[in-house]
């Protein structure tokens, strides 16, 4: 990942602006997101589909300038909540882009409702890609006890888009307590990995998760983008294999 101005709150400035990563691929870095009082970075991924529309993965906080910048890239067609924990900002985007279709995996709308947020999805996400992006984006389900994440591989750019099943926090960007926490959780760069609680939850479906991970690796992604930390901008498949050692070995 290219160098950015050093930030001690873990983020990757400039924040809340789309940054081109590959043809038809942008990231929007945001944050810091607070966890147990500690700051961590968070990221949205934007893909350009063949119909000219945009596909927004794990929308981060909405700002007026960001909304304008996104509109300049193309019409927003899809707002994607990819996992159990990534939906908080989606209602704000849904309000500003009412023409967009909202997608979420099982359990997410119910979690949002319990938190007092209305998240009305147009479709539920699973292992089969919806017709709207079939042939362009392949997806797999990674799940655990009370946890689900949909992984997406964008074939035109050979980009794998994950959420929490890989994180790679750079300790030198974080305050000491957050850096120690990342190391303890097994999410410190350069190798990274899923937080230890997520690994534990995923053990319940170890065989299915291992098979899904193997299928994703077989696609040979050039890069792997995820929501937290320094994503893998090259040698994606090899670096992901190292991050997923805990998953692939059973």
Strand 159-161, strand 147-154: pairing: antiparallel
- In this prediction, residues 93-119 reach a mean pLDDT of 84
What is residue 165's predicted lDDT score, i.e. its pLDDT? 98
pLDDT given for residue 112 in this prediction: 74
Average pLDDT (29-51) is 96
Secondary-structure class of domain 18-115+128-248 per CATH? alpha beta
User: Which residues lie closer than 8 Å to 220 by C-beta, 6 or more apart?
Assistant: 158, 237
In the structure, what pLDDT confidence band is assigned to residue 226 with cuts at 50, 70 and 90? very high
Q: Please tell me the pTM assigned to this model.
A: 0.94
Q: Chain-wide mean pLDDT for the chain?
A: 93
- pLDDT given for residue 123 in this prediction: 84
C-alpha gyration radius of the chain: 17
Instruction: Tell me the DSSP string of 89-134.
Output: THHHHHHH-TTSEEEEETTHHHHHHHTT-----SEEE-SSPPTTTT
Res. 117: pLDDT tops 90: no
Encode pLDDT of 124-170 as tens digits. 999 999 999 999 999 999 999 999 999 999 999 999 999 999 999 99
The CA distance from 133 to 97, in Å, is 19
| Res. 242: pLDDT tops 90 | yes
Q: Let me know: does 89 contact 119? Beta carbons within 8 Å.
A: no
Residue 2's pLDDT is what?
A: 45
């Amino acid at each position: 990942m290219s160098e950015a101005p050093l930030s001690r709150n873990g983020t990757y400035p400039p924040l809340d602006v789309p940054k081109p990563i590959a043809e038809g691929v942008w990231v929007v870095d945001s944050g810091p997101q607070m966890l147990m009082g500690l700051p961590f970075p968070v990221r949205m991924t934007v893909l350009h589909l063949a119909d000219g529309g945009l596909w927004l993965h794990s929308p981060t906080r909405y700002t007026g300038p960001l909304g304008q910048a996104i509109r300049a890239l193309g019409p927003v067609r899809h707002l994607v909540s990819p996992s159990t924990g990534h939906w908080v900002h989606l209602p704000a985007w849904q309000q500003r882009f009412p023409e967009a279709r909202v997608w979420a995996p099982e359990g997410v709308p119910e979690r949002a409702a319990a938190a007092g947020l209305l998240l009305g999805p147009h479709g539920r996400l699973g292992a089969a890609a919806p017709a709207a992006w079939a042939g362009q984006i392949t997806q797999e389900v990674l799940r655990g006890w009370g946890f689900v994440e949909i992984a997406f591989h964008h074939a035109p750019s050979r980009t794998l888009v994950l959420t929490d099943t890989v994180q790679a926090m750079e300790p030198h960007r974080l305050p000491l307590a957050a850096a120690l926490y990342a190391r303890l959780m097994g999410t410190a760069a350069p190798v990274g990995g899923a937080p230890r609680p997520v690994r534990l939850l995923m053990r319940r479906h170890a065989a299915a998760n291992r098979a899904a991970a193997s299928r994703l690796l077989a696609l040979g992604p050039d890069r792997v983008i995820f929501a937290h930390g320094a994503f893998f901008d090259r040698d994606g498949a090899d670096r992901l294999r190292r991050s997923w050692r805990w998953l692939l070995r059973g």
